[in-house]
Amino acid sequence: MLRHMDYKKIISIENLLISWRKFLRGKKKRKDVIEFSLHLTDYILLLHQKLKNKTYQHGLYHAFKINDPKPIMVYRN
């Protein structure tokens, strides 16, 4: 079971920014990533607020399979 302090640490703005930097690896030139980056502060603060209030709802995902170099499933919204 997730303790309250663990959840607060996970959803901290600092942790969300660390996660964003990890996500960026190899994706910095993608159009959607560039557009998101333009409003990064607003999006991170909004995400943090929704997670804090427990009102966040993720969107739909599309699943597809790629075979390069081995078969994997990819999930994108």
Question: How many domains are contained in the chain?
Answer: 1
Which residues of the chain carry a pLDDT beneath 50? none
Length of the chain equals: 77
| pLDDT of amino acid 69 | 81
- Considering the entire predicted model, what is its pTM? 0.72
- Whether residue 2 contacts residue 8, with contact meaning beta carbons closer than 8 Å, is answered with no
Range of the domain at 20: 4-76
